[in-house]
Structure 1
């Protein structure tokens, strides 16, 4: 019997919002051969402009599919996780503007909007079936929004492409050549196609390639998406097991669950089977780092969803993250401003209360000189006030409430999913080093 859940619902009928157990029907089907191909591509630096960064550099299982940093260092960084630092021989131009999100359960059917600001989403009115920053230039063949999302970091100078004039990919990106022959995606595809092991694996995986079709860039992205879907499905936490009629949660976790789905109001946004409404909310999060600005802009502001919609009501709103494995995916917030989960929950419960209690030692930031100041927004009273003014009202939690919520969030941890099903490969077909 689901003793803890039944008891909780009896005590507080509001807990009818507790979701039903996750099932296979909630996920897209995965071709395991395609996932195994994507496994190697995910860890292979060949996809980056300078062949020195893989997807795993910022999304590593050692750090629960993130990187353990508030804001990561892509191109120009060396090392992994919190040990990553700027390479004095190839200094980064700036930090990656937003925190590296976790990758759990992105194969679930309900994930149709991705990135912190939702700039990529399913849209059947577009020929590609997707709305992305490329608009009408978006190519056909991406099988899902996840597939499309995986291939935008390779275009970012700060993430994987590299800086101006450093390599052929970076030059193509800077000149606006993304799709088509000679574009950045085409250059990366030809690199992969030139490796015999990859040619054989693509032929074995996709019948049309075996029949003679050239490898397309979308084949690479589709394989990586299949790997993420297969590797990091997370639905075997203590919470999941309880929902399926298994062992009851601890009394502390039950108390936290009652708060989460009851008086604390967490489930107003963190609803559904994966604790996300897939929506966007202004939560008054501290803005650190370079912000989301174009190279020609001088500000360090990040207005979130408003950058996509141009609607004032979306200012400083960011996508509600799923909470599976949340206790392992810090630092938290769109800019990773919080490294203490208790401090984060205290602020998050009542974001309109302001940023006065934020302490800057919460941030995990490798030293990076001669770039945009990290604290320029919080040092500006008007900028901080604008973040606070947009934030939704909440209610303050007691220390005991936070203890209970932490116990419940811990019950959302699926250690098997964090480790992954295939793990880190020993080698990749390019022969380049693998981040371990």
Structure 2
């Protein structure tokens, strides 16, 4: 299935983009449907004409305009470059505590975090298999025998991509718990320790750590994949990172540094959550 498109049979979008055959998984099949949905909402007409000088009529609204509008909102609302770390690299030497500075040295040195979490966004935008414990409905493909999440392979159909997930940005990482693609670790320290030794942390992981919301209809299947020994063996055979040995105090220093990536304006979003949207969809 496509990210955010839903499961098979849930809506017309997933039906369009996930057709079977040599021409399968064409996301552009959904574009006309999305365009028509937006064109059919009168309040959006004026908003798009105000935003784009060349849009004079609802029929001028194309998928590129919709995508650019969403992108502009995301950039405006969630870009955060005012963290203590940013202050530090801009010359304010006292912006980080001594503990955070030691953690920074570990991040860029001994702990090898920056080999993947690099650049201004702290991500190389690549995919890696880390053996995060599997549970929940995942992004199951139609041919899978039960719910599981094969990661990037779900899109590429390349077995080399099995269980690989994209390196996330670490900006505001202290706010984005739980951690792992499926929320396997409730704490930042937990996911850091998993990165340092994926195999050992997998063996120590327990379902109670998932801290799942109550959903009676999912309880029977949530941990079917985690209990499957063959699936565990496949998952653990594809770890892309090597163990790194640092002591408990150094782990705490590393976590402290990660907290320094939290923007000072984290609770002061420029636009904020709207009371309502033109489509009439309920704002949660």
Q: Normalised by the size of structure 2, how large is the TM-score?
A: 0.84
* CA positional deviation for 1:357: 0.8
Quickly say closer, same or farther: Cα 1:188–1:390, change in 2 above 3 A.
closer
- Report how far residue 175 of structure 1 moved: 7.3
Deviation of the 1:309 alpha carbon: 4.4
Shift of 1:340: 1.9
Matching residue of 2:84: 238
**1:285 positional shift:** 0.9
**Inter-partner Cα distance in structure 1 for 2:143 and 2:30:** 22
Contact 2:107 2:113 in 1 (8 A): yes
Secondary structure in 2 aligned to 1:278?
coil
In structure 2, the residue corresponding to 1:240 is in which secondary structure? Answer: helix
Structure 1 417/354 Cα, relative in aligned 2: closer, same or farther at 3 Å? closer
Provide the C-alpha distance between the structure 1 equivalents of 2:280 and 2:188, rounded to a whole number of angstroms: 39
Counterparts of 1:169 and 1:248 in 2: how far apart (Å)?
A: 47
- Aligned position for 2:181: 334
> 1:403 matched to which residue of 2?
252
- Structure 1 residue 320: Cα displacement: 1.1
**Corresponding residue of 2:277:** 428
Partner of 1:16: none
Gaps in structure 1 of 5+ consecutive residues: 1-96, 98-132, 134-151
Q: Could you say which residue in structure 2 is the equivalent of 1:206?
A: 52
1:325 pairs with 172, 180, 202, which one? 172
Q: Distance in 1 between matches of 2:177 and 2:67?
A: 26
- Deviation (angstroms), 1:347: 1.8
Per the TM alignment, residue 354 of structure 1 is displaced from its structure 2 partner at its CA by 5.1
CA contact (8 A) 1:331 1:340 kept: yes
Q: Is the 8 A contact 1:326 1:413 kept in 2?
A: yes
2:36 is aligned, of 162, 171, 190, to 190
Matched residue SS, 1:209? coil
C-alpha distance in structure 2 between counterparts of 1:201 and 1:401, whole Å: 51
CA contact 1:256–1:405 (8 Å) conserved in 2: yes
Once the two structures are TM-superposed, the CA of residue 248 in structure 1 deviates from its matched residue by 3.1
Write the distance in 1 (CA, Å) between the matches of 2:221 and 2:10: 20
Mapped to 1, the partners of 2:26 and 2:136 lie a distance apart of 27
Match of 2:236 in 1: 388
Structure 1 residue 429: Cα displacement:
2.6
CA distances 1:284-324 after superposition (whole Å, capped 9, x unpaired): 21111123322343233323233444544433222111101
> For residues 313-353 of structure 1, what are the alpha-carbon distances to aligned partners after superposition, in whole Å with 9 as ceiling and x for unaligned?
43322211110101110111112111122222222211133
TM-score w.r.t. the length of structure 1 is 0.57
Partner of 1:221: 67
Structure 2 CA distance, aligned partners of 1:211 and 1:299?
A: 47
Distance 1:307 1:169 in 2: 18
Residues 1:226 and 1:369: Cα distance change in structure 2 (over 3 Å): same
- C-alpha distance in 2, partners of 1:303/1:179? 20
Which residue of structure 2 lines up, in the alignment, with residue 255 of structure 1? 102
Structure 1 residues 174, 245: closer, same or farther in 2, change over 3 A? closer
SS at match of 2:54: helix
Q: 1:276 is matched with which residue: 120, 123, 129?
A: 123
Paired residue total: 277
- Aligned alpha-carbon RMSD (Å): 2.9
Q: Which ranges of structure 2 fall in alignment gaps of 5 or more residues?
A: none
Aligned partners of 1:429 and 1:292: how far apart in 2? 30
